[in-house]
Structure 1
């Protein structure tokens, strides 16, 4: 029976035997073993069926479709509930209780997995309304519209970053063994802050920031890098420059500079507390992962800066143009 892949093939066996072929002839014609042909014929004669009986074998499922819907409602009510809590709540009022192993198996069958939640900024009611207004104002933008936006942001990369997700195998008395320890450095051993920008068409500059970014330093970056990038990529003055609402971005000297150049490009009005809407965050994540994957890790800030610039310069075009398509889809589903 295990040789058969479908009920149709079982029907072929029955048809061959009813046509008068012997077991050997049926096996040679259909390519099955004589044992399989014989077993199939006996099942047909005894039960008059050609379908597999295996579906009726095995232990009955303790959580049926109705139980899965009940468990799904429990998950929706409390996403942070532990396996023990879900099992306890499910068993309340049920005639037949289940164990945690059954709960785990059922949840996996339903497509649920336990994982760390994504971290998003805490957004006030007022700022949430502004995000919604931004999404509604741009929900009908096409990919061609988003191609006219140049995205920018700052990010800081630490020289030494302790990964809290690292797990080790050790015995109870090996907690302080050197091979079971993870060393940490205060403030990560220092880091490098960079400012960068990109659009659908190409990567923009990546500028190291040697000190804390203030309005004066940001004005230098804007005049030296943003202006030539926007005028080159969007000579028809149809480009949009995106920046967040950091204090140095909203300073008077910055606002006045953008007003002087509003005939060359437009500053995209950005909702507050919305780093998750900026696709450049995905590029920062790629840079971070590439840094950790280096065979030889940087040992000082100069090496770290060189590594960041090298990773940025070697981005593939489809790696960042795809982000604009994702941005388009996410805003339409906001």
Structure 2
């Protein structure tokens, strides 16, 4: 069952952001909250523009009240591609008290919105559609118990043009490794040998664990393949289909981290501060959150089968 009770401001923003992005209540449950909680929080936002669990009792008076937030929400729905300048200009028309772009940005973050550059989802090639379909068929009978044996890994770029590498399984979050440069095969070998290997052998001492990685060039290098062959008696590397971020639940975990990073009052200014901030965020993510992500795997597989290897809603 999902979490109940009052949520933090960030968790409320997660719920509102997920629903405004078009996710159903069932899909939003991947965040780890109950259907009742998701419905209540989203209703409060729609009716009152409320994303905070407590009243603001200090600091500068908010220039955009609940009514103003609803007005801003309507402007966004009318044009999802509007820039911050365009939203501010449209909002100020007919208003007695105008606001600046900084206030607009702060209000949007409070409402659960994040600015993103519009981009096209790359089309999945015919060859890769077949590989995705083959993978889904090979794993269509896997249960949640089977997926609990998988460790998910990925690199993700956050602020400052810096990246981190992380991993997690049903049981726990794994190590977080900062990457201060372009990741090559040699650097990746150090990561999997120094961090991935101990995690796998500790979590799955019976050698029944599976290690997941995507098809980044450095992951497919000869020295990496040879290293995995040397350790194939300790764990199995999943043959991952290309163009399949929708199948990897760690992508959703990175989304949670990125939203909270952008909501920080003081943003990190260097790689060390960024690592500390991400570690702090991960430490406060409930175990139920990433367990729900693993539980979504049978549904993701079914979605790929239904799409005949094509793109899915995930």
Judge same fold: TM > 0.5, yes or no: yes
Contact 1:131 1:271 in 2 (8 A): yes
The 3 A distance-change label for structure 1 pair 124 and 203 is same
Residue in structure 2 matched with residue 149 of structure 1 by the alignment: 150
Greater radius of gyration (CA): 1
> Contact 2:180 / 2:271 at 8 angstroms: preserved in 1?
no
Question: SS of the counterpart of 1:196?
Answer: strand
Question: Normalization by structure 1: what TM-score?
Answer: 0.54
1:231, distance to aligned residue in structure 2 (A): 0.7
RCO higher in structure (CA 8 A, sep ≥6): 2
SS in 2 for 1:298: coil
Query: Which of 245, 257, 264 is 1:275 aligned to?
Result: 245
Aligned pairs (5 A) from 1:206-225: 206-225=176-195
| Residue 132 (str. 1) matches residue 133 (str. 2) | yes
Counterpart CA distance in 2 for 1:247 and 1:195 is 15
Q: Which runs of 4+ in 1 moved over 4 A?
A: 116-119
State how far apart, in whole Å, the 2-side matches of 1:207 and 1:129 are.
33
Corresponding residue SS for 1:236: coil
Pick the aligned partner of 2:211 from 235, 241, 247.
241
Aligned equivalents of 2:211, 2:124: Cα separation in 1: 24
**1:316 aligned residue:** 286
Matches for 1:56-205 after TM superposition, within 5 Å: 120-158=121-159, 190-205=160-175
User: How many residues in Structure 1 have an aligned counterpart in Structure 2?
Assistant: 190
User: Which residue does 1:23 correspond to in 2?
Assistant: none
Cα shift readout 1:162-206 (whole Å, capped 9, x = no counterpart) = xxxxxxxxxxxxxxxxxxxxxxxxxxxx32210000001110011
Find the residue that maps to 2:162 and give its secondary structure.
strand
**Corresponding residue for residue 275 of structure 2:** 305
Residues 137-182 of structure 1 deviation map (CA, whole Å, 9 limit, x = unaligned): 1011000000000000000012xxxxxxxxxxxxxxxxxxxxxxxx
Number of the residue aligned with 1:253: 223
Structure-2 change in CA distance of 1:310 and 1:331 (3 Å):
same
**CA offset at residue 120 of structure 1?**
3.6
Secondary structure of the 1:208 match is: strand
Q: Kindly tell me: are residues 331 and 288 of structure 1, through their superposed partners in 2, closer, same or farther at Cα, counting changes over 3 Å?
A: same
Corresponding residue of 2:23: none
In the aligned structure 2, how far is the partner of 1:155 from the partner of 1:303?
A: 16
Q: For the Cα contact (< 8 Å) 2:131–2:241, is it kept in 1? A: yes
Q: Who is 2:296 aligned against?
A: 326
